[in-house]
Structures are given as structure tokens and as C-alpha cells.
Structure 1
Amino acid sequence: MNTTTKRTWFIAFVVSLGGFLFGFDAGIISGVMSYAGPQFDLNDVQTGWVVSSPSFSAMIAMLISGRLSDFIGRKKILIVVAFLYALSALLSAYAVGYDMLWIARMLGGIAFGAALILAPTYIAEISSAENRGKLVSMQQLNIVLGFFAAFLCNYYLNELNTSGESFLSDETVWRWMLGLELIPALLYFVLMFFVPNSPRWLFLKGKVDAAKNILVKLHGNSKAEEEAKAIATSIENNQNKEKVELKELLKPALRFIFLVGLTLGILQQITGINAIYFYATSIFKQTGIGTNAAFASGVLLSTIAVIFTIISMVIIDKVGRRPLLLVGIAGIAISLLCCTYSFSNATYKLTEEKINILDTSINEKLTPFLNKAYDNDVQFKREMQEALGTKVYAKNDGAILEAAIEMNSILVLIGILGFVACFAFSLGPVMWVMLSEIFPTKYRGLAIGVIGFVNSISSWLIQQIFPWELSNLGNAMTFLIFGLIGVVGFFILLKVLPETKGKSLEQLETEFVQ
């Protein structure tokens, strides 16, 4: 790898650290809520809001950050993003109640909303056609590395807490989980000062010499000259057009690629990926494997995500975007339907032997349910909550489910890991690669911002309603809904999805925009 290539990879890595922080925050909250939820006695709506509030504020950030970056530059906004990540981590760790916790997390949401839009945009603008897929995919790699780091921290801190031999307690362990995010946030803030401005943005601002100097450092003299000519031609073709407005995204010349991008943006979220990531510990508890095993399974889940994201980065520029997306969405649908089948066959019964191994403070209250059989998780959990109270049940739900449930938990684990693997080499990274490619330079910031906004709405809705779904619809019905969405999504993508592999941004602009 030559010096210019190394420099490009380093810059892409630094910029995409915002993705690492998003992944860390998303992964860490699944462990946090196992402790903070019972401590603050949160109901389903409050639990959903603490988890989903960052996605809610991210919607606003996604809508305005693309356009704002067209005026003041990608780099300056990403520096602010890093600062907000650090502030959010600090305030979350010191939250004294429900309100402070969700407000602090919303600050982090503003940060990752902007980062998820601007990082792939920036990376696409410093990349050549030959390596753009790999470099933009680094955003998703950093996201899943963030998940891995978070689940590993959750597992380690949970083990320290449950051992009873450390300074941690149920009241403080979740604060350490949240506070650890401060370390990568500060690193991101410092490293962003070593990143240049986007050369395409500098061209748009008339700073041609500065843009050419950056291109030379990134690609070498000959490639830089080629890239500079292509960028200048693209901008010249658009400079006589009026100011970009939202309604222009629906004009005939852009309508097809906008609808393709919108479909990808919605489908990425409504198949339930953030329900899996944000509530991983809770989902694994539903299988009855126990709280400690649920934390351990989160580490396995994030490891699978890392492995298959790397596979995607290696093959995306060889295989192409369309095959990866189609194979991935098909695998997602099959995996979710496997989970549905297993949960639909689960039964629940507390025997005397199983009740006796539970905490002595609750087993007497569960005696009336001795040998009572349930074939519905909703009814079982509801009666347990009524007997124990929501706060006590929330603190002991992993142990109670482990004692009562009879099901094929291995099939659920395979289904969830299959889902994560298929997502990690398809909808996860490839959606952002395609969004960074299919729109002309003039429209890119606005178009990705709008699609990112819709993507974030979808993510927020899934995260907000997921606890309610589990409590009121049950595990099987919840996963069935996600699985059927995956089936429908496969046939939609089969019909409309184009291929963008190996083409420069300017070539794609000529091909897609009339």
C-alpha cells in the first residue's frame, strides 16, 4: 500500500470514528437498561424513550447536517459532533433520574445523526472509484466495532458486578458503562483536527488550489489531475442551475434514484436491526439462557457483525452492491422467520425445583403459580409482573424466564446471529455506499440528509415500540412482523435496485440523471 493510499485509509478511519461511537452507544444501552430500568422503575414507554431518544434527535441532525455541511464544510461539523459525543457520555453517566438520562442521550443523538450522514459523504468525496466501496464501508465497520467494544464492556462490567468482589453495584455499574464512551469521544475530537477539508467541497467554494493540493496528497499527481477535471466538469454542469430545493428531489430526472435511496433507507431499519442491537440483552433473556449468558451472547453477536462487515468490505468492489443487498435481505427474512418459529413453540412453567433456586425474596410470591403451564409469553410475563411488581420483576426477569421457559433457544440464537451476519454484509454498509454514489454532487448533501432523516424516523419508531411489542404482541408475533417485512423488501429490491460498482461519481451522475 503506497503512502497516498495509506493517508486516504487513515483519514477515512478517523472520520468514521463517529460510527464507532454510534455503535458503542447503541450496544452499551442494551446492558445499561438491565440496571437503569429497574433502578428508575421505568415502564415500557419510558424504556423505549431512553433507548430511542438519540434516534429522535438524530432525525433533526440528519435533516439539516447535509445542507449545513454544504455551507460550512464537513470537517467543522464533525469536530462539533465529537464534542457532543463526549458531553453526552459525561452527562449520561451522572444522570440522577429518568429526565436527565434521556436529555443527555439526545445530545449524543444529535452527534451521531450528523456523523452518519457526513462521514460516508466525506469519505466518498476523498475516494477514487476503485476503492470507494471499501472506504465508505469503513463507516459500517466502525459501527460494528463500536458494538463489539460495547458488548465486551457490558459483559466485563456485569461480571465484575455480579461477582460481588468489586467496587461496582447495581446502582453504579450502568454509569460506568455509559461513562466509558468519553474515552473514544475525546480521541475522535483530537484526531479530527488532522483531517483535511473535502476537496469536492473546496471546489464548490471556489478554493481550487487548496482542493488540488489535497487531491495530490490523497491520490498522487496523475490521479489527482484526473479527479480534479472530473469534479470541475461536474460542478460546471450544475453551476448555472438554481439553488437546490427539496422538491427538486422528486423531479423526473432524480425521482428514480431518490425513490431507490428512500427504499433502502427505510428497509435498513424496519427489518428490526436496531431492535436487535439496542435490546440484545433483553432479547437473549427472553430465550431463558439467563442474564450472564445474555451479556455473553451480546459479545458473540457483535463479533459476527464485525466479521461479516469485513467480508463485505473485501468483496463489495468485486461482487457489486446489488448482489450483496439481494442475498443479504433474503437471509435477513429467513433468519427472522426462524426466530418466529422457535418463539411460537415456547412454553412456560415454574416447578417447585425451579422456584426454589430463585431469590428467596420472590419465590414465596411465585408459589401460587406452581406447575401452571403457559403457551403464551405475554400472559406469563404479565402475571409475573402483577405478582411481583414491575420493578422487582424487571430486576429478576432473566432468572425467572430461565427457570420457567422450555424452548429451542439455540434456533433463536442461530436466527439472530444469521440476521446480524446478513445485515452486516448487505443493508448495513452497502446502503450508505449507494447513497454516497447515486446522487450528483449538487444534490448529494440534501438527498442523503432527507433519506437519513427518514431512516432515523424508522429507527426511532422501531426502538420506541419494541418494548411495547414484546409486552403486548409477544416474541413470536414481533419477529414475524420483521420477517414478513424482509420478504416484501426482497421483492422490491429485486425489481428496482441498480448497480453502481466501479463507476466514478461523475459517471454515475451522467447515467442516472437526465
Structure 2
Amino acid sequence: MPSYHEDELEVLQNGKSKPDICAGIGLPPTKVAAMVTKEQEKPLGERRKAVLRQTLMVIFANSGVIGSGLAVAMPAVTLKQFQDENEPIYLNPSEASWYASINTMACPLGGMLVGYLLDKIGRKRTMLINNIIGIIGWALIAGAFQKDKESAYIQILIGRFISGVMIGLFCSPTGVYAAEITLPKIRGKLLLGTAVALSLGILSMYTIGYFIRDSWRLISTICLCYQILCFLMVIPMPESPSWLMQKGRAEDSRKSLKFFRGIDKNDFTTYDEFETEFSQIKKTSQIAANDEKQSLLTSLKEPEVYKPFLIMLGMFAFQQFSGVVVVVVYAVQIAVTAGVQMDPLLCAIFVGLGRICTTCCLGYILETWGRRPAGMVSGSGMAACMLLIAASSWFPVILQHAPFLPAVCIVLQFMFSTMGLLTLPFYMISEVFPQKVRGVASGMTVCIGLIMSFLVLKIYPTMVDALGNENIFAFYGCVALLAVFYIYFILPETKGKSLLEIEEYFKTGKFPTANQPIENEMKEVFIKK
């Protein structure tokens, strides 16, 4: 058996009382030593054990977001059954539009509550409450067995409304939690967990609807069981060290940070890097405590608050009025009206697959290209797809030569939207606001964005009747094209920047240089490679 130096043995043990012998089997001592040295050179938060812990907790946190995706996409697979006149619960066009959009009307309520809950009871407990709300919503929908159609319809609407509150509540906590437990180098990948989870939830609903086409109650029951599982997954999660410190629980904050940096609770070794980061969390929390009585309205007078607030509102406006959410909720119906010559539910599954594949690659795209290039490619691609769908309706001869063009454009539109306009606003609200208002400001931004979403979804059927599908597609394409110019001229690039550097940019109008100290002499600990 090869021999190791004490420092090598310590790394192979990885905090255990016995070394991981498997780590050295079949490898020469020089190679093992090189592996050990490479691991030791990484910051604590980027080592294998720490990354595994951070990733696992972010997965647990985002399990509930999958439930939100299920709720968002449910109308796409159940509207056909509800609009069948032979069904016990038949919905006329007006009732169907309320069924499809009422959850987005409730989302702003969740958005308004989430900031208060994040700051008052913490990230973990907020996610627990979110899942309980989701369980109640799905239970009401699944339990709508009344013979009276009106009573059942009202109960379904209440269930959809409550599910909308859950969606609004889930938009911020997971991103804030991920941002506070990770270092900048891997933060981008883990922040994408929310987008991946939402995409997975939408794809799951499309898939369930493909196999279960005539039982919305069974679909609701499956979702109810899943939401209960999500609640159980949040229970073992540690609270964010930043929030614990902000509430004066320094020892609990230290234990939490040790967990996320891969340090065992019984390891009392002093790590300079850990102590530096812990000291920074303490300083940041002290500043936040001094500003604790300052309301969001008062904070909006400060450039580091109102600038990102207005920029993110603009991003949400382009997101909603480019038809991103309309395509999600009305995917099956849009596939039919666009002239797709295949099973519309199967087309919806391809749309969901395209979105989740793009989302999984989004971490690489955003960290390699940056936020701005990804957003501009997204807007350009969406505009091209929507205008092609409109053109195929204006000039039917196109479909004679390319019958699958609408299906391809719908799938590509979803993939391009996922690359930027759909995900960037949710991605960036977790990093552009200063910590003192991060919870409230991100919640309020999402709240206003979801109000826009409700308006777009509610008026979509009316717009189709008034303007026609092809003109609606052209309108969405033009809005997506305008978004490209907005991103180019307005949106700052945050790739590779620490949260404090981003805050400094909005405060002064420029990012600090490598040798320029940030105000209060605080920088996040990370290594740029």
C-alpha cells in the first residue's frame, strides 16, 4: 500500500476517522499526491464534499418548484376535458380563461408575502410553508367531487388560486438560498436549479397529460402526493448562514457555514479562509441590521436599489409580453392553432424536452457567454420563430413546402426563451439586489412581474378573437426583438462578479477594479481562475 504524508491522509479521510482507502487503490502515490494537492488548492466551498452538500440542498429546495411547474402547465393538458360539453364539469370560454389564469392572479400575493417571510422566519421555513400551501391547493382540486357543477367549479378555482400563491412564494426563496450558501464560481450553476426544476415540472405535467387524457382528478391526486414528498425533503435542510447571522444566531450561523463548506461539525481546526468568510457574513449582517428599519420604499431612493429594481421590471415586462408564459399555459392549444400536424400533446412534450435540455446547458451558456449575450441570442431567436409562425399563416404556401415548420418553431421558441428571456429575470433577481433588501425587493419584483403574467394570460383568448393567431404571434415576435435592444443598452453584465461588486456597480455606475477596495472593505471570498 502506498505511503502518504499527513496532509494527504487528512484529505483522503475527508473528515472521517478512517481514510478512504478506495481513493488510492490502483493509483501510484505520485498521482494520488497530485489529486490531493489539486483538491487542497481549491477554496473550501469548491471542494468535492462542499459542492456535494450545496448541490444536494439546492435540489431539495427546488423540489417544490417542480410542483409549481406542474401547477403552471396543468391547463395545457386539462382544458380540452373541461371544454367538452359531455363532461359533468363543463367550462364555457370565459370560465376556462379564469381556470387557466387565476393562479397567475394569485401569484403576486405570494410575491408580496415572500419578502416578509424570508426575512421574518427564514429561507427554510418559508419553503416549508410554500409546500403546505401547495398541498392544500392540490387537495382542493383533487377533492372537487360535488354533483353541483358551480360548487365544484368554485372549489377548483380556489384550489388553482392557492396553487398560484404557492408559485409566487417559490419564485424567490430557492434562488436566495442558493446564492447565500455558495461561492461565486459555482453560484451560477446552482442558481439555475430553480429554472431546471420549473422546466422539469412543466415537462412532467405534459407527460402526465399525454398518458392521462380523461381524468383531471387523477392528475391532481398525483400532484398532491408529490407535493407531500417535497415537504418532507425540505425538513433536513440547514438554514442559510446569512439569515441566521442577521437574526443574531452567530453559533448556528457558524455551524451552517461549516456544513456548506464541507467541514464536519466535530472538526475544530481553524481555517483562515473560513474565518474570513464568516467575518464577512457578520459584517454584512451588521450593516443590514443597522438598516433593518428602512422600508423598501425608503431604500428605493438609493441607486443600488432602484436601478436594479427598474431594470428587472423591464426584463419581466419583455418576458411576459413576448408570450413566453402564454406558450407554456396554452401549449396544446397554440400547437393546434399554429397548424402543427402531429398530436398536440406530443408536441407539448417535445416543447418541454427542448426547454429542459436548454435549461441544463444554461449554466455553461451563462458562465461562458455571460448574461447579456445569452439574453440577446434568446430574444433574436424568439423573434425569428414567432415571425415564421405568423408568416406560415399569412402565406399558406409555406406549409405546403414545410409542413413541420410550426412544430419546429414552437419547440425552438421555447428553447430560445429558456436561454434568456424566460430564465434571466428569475436568475438575476437573486444577485442584483443588496442584502439589506434582497428578500423584499426580489419578492416585490416578482410580484409585479406576475401581475403582468396574469394580464397577458387573461386577455390572450380575447386578443386571439380580436386580432387572429397570426397577428398575435407577430406581436410577440416584435416584443422579443425590442428586448434584444433593451438588454444591449440597459442590462449590466454580472458574470463572475461578487454580490458586493454588483452592489457597488449600481451605487457608483462602474465595477470596482482588482485593486480598488469595496466600501466597508468587504469582499466575498472567491478565486477567479
Task: Establish whether TM, by shorter chain, passes 0.5.
Answer: yes
* TM-score between the two structures when normalised by the length of structure 1: 0.82
Q: How far apart, CA to CA, are the structure 2 residues paired with 1:48 and 1:501?
A: 40
**Does residue 463 of structure 1 match 2:457?**
yes
**Does residue 278 of structure 1 match 2:324?**
no
Q: How far apart, CA to CA, are the structure 2 residues paired with 1:5 and 1:242?
A: 32
Partner of 1:257: 308
Q: How much identity, in percent, do the aligned residues show? A: 26
Matches within 5 A, 1:297-312: 297-312=347-362
Q: How far apart, CA to CA, are the structure 1 residues paired with 2:276 and 2:138?
A: 43
Partner of 2:289: 239
Distance 1:407 1:474, change over 3 A: farther
Q: Which amino acid aligns with 2:96?
A: T
Q: Would the aligned equivalents of 1:49 and 1:464 in 2 still touch at CA under 8 Å?
A: yes
**Does residue 108 of structure 1 match 2:163?**
yes
After superposition, what is the alpha-carbon deviation per residue over 1:372-393, rounded to whole angstroms, capped at 9, x for unaligned? xxxxxxxxxxxxxxxxxxxxxx
Q: How far apart, CA to CA, are the structure 2 residues paired with 1:327 and 1:257?
A: 22
After superposition, what is the alpha-carbon deviation per residue over 1:182-218, rounded to whole angstroms, capped at 9, x for unaligned? 1221111001101111111111101111111111111
Distance 1:407 1:181, change over 3 A: farther
Q: How far apart, CA to CA, are the structure 2 residues paired with 1:250 and 1:270?
A: 25
Q: How far apart, CA to CA, are the structure 2 residues paired with 1:148 and 1:287?
A: 20
SS in 2 for 1:239: helix
Q: Which amino acid aligns with 2:443?
A: G
Q: How far apart, CA to CA, are the structure 2 residues paired with 1:512 and 1:235?
A: 20
User: How far does residue 259 in structure 1 lie from its aligned partner after superposition?
Assistant: 1.2
Aligned length: 443
Partner of 2:475: 481
**Does residue 331 of structure 1 match 2:381?**
yes
Distance 1:435 1:26, change over 3 A: same
Q: Would the aligned equivalents of 1:22 and 1:146 in 2 still touch at CA under 8 Å?
A: yes
Distance 1:472 1:177, change over 3 A: farther
Matches within 5 A, 1:43-442: 43-95=92-144, 96=146, 97-158=152-213, 170=214, 173-220=215-262, 222=271, 223-241=273-291, 243-253=293-303, 254-289=305-340, 293-346=343-396, 409-442=403-436
Distance 1:269 1:59, change over 3 A: same
Distance 1:409 1:277, change over 3 A: farther
User: How far does residue 510 in structure 1 lie from its aligned partner after superposition?
Assistant: 2.7
Distance 1:9 1:87, change over 3 A: same
Which ranges in structure 2 are unaligned for 5 or more consecutive residues?
Answer: 1-46, 147-151, 264-270, 509-529
* TM-score between the two structures when normalised by the length of structure 2: 0.80
Q: Which amino acid aligns with 2:413?
A: F
Q: CA RMSD in A?
A: 2.0
User: How far does residue 314 in structure 1 lie from its aligned partner after superposition?
Assistant: 2.6
Q: Would the aligned equivalents of 2:83 and 2:96 in 1 still touch at CA under 8 Å?
A: yes
**Does residue 13 of structure 1 match 2:62?**
no
**Does residue 452 of structure 1 match 2:446?**
yes
Farther off after superposition, 187-196 or 63-72: 63-72
Q: Would the aligned equivalents of 2:108 and 2:448 in 1 still touch at CA under 8 Å?
A: yes
Q: Would the aligned equivalents of 1:56 and 1:456 in 2 still touch at CA under 8 Å?
A: yes
User: How far does residue 242 in structure 1 lie from its aligned partner after superposition?
Assistant: 5.8
Q: Would the aligned equivalents of 1:53 and 1:106 in 2 still touch at CA under 8 Å?
A: yes
Farther off after superposition, 49-58 or 259-268: 259-268
Which ranges in structure 1 are unaligned for 5 or more consecutive residues?
Answer: 159-169, 348-404
Q: How far apart, CA to CA, are the structure 2 residues paired with 1:231 and 1:427?
A: 32
User: How far does residue 145 in structure 1 lie from its aligned partner after superposition?
Assistant: 0.8
After superposition, what is the alpha-carbon deviation per residue over 1:73-123, rounded to whole angstroms, capped at 9, x for unaligned? 121121111122122122212324321111111111111110112111111
Q: How far apart, CA to CA, are the structure 2 residues paired with 1:463 and 1:179?
A: 25
User: How far does residue 504 in structure 1 lie from its aligned partner after superposition?
Assistant: 1.9
SS in 2 for 1:16: helix
Q: How far apart, CA to CA, are the structure 2 residues paired with 1:83 and 1:295?
A: 30
Q: How far apart, CA to CA, are the structure 2 residues paired with 1:21 and 1:407?
A: 41
**Does residue 3 of structure 1 match 2:49?**
yes
Partner of 2:43: none
User: How far does residue 235 in structure 1 lie from its aligned partner after superposition?
Assistant: 2.6
Aligned partner (choices 75, 81, 92) of residue 35 of structure 1: 81
User: How far does residue 12 in structure 1 lie from its aligned partner after superposition?
Assistant: 0.5
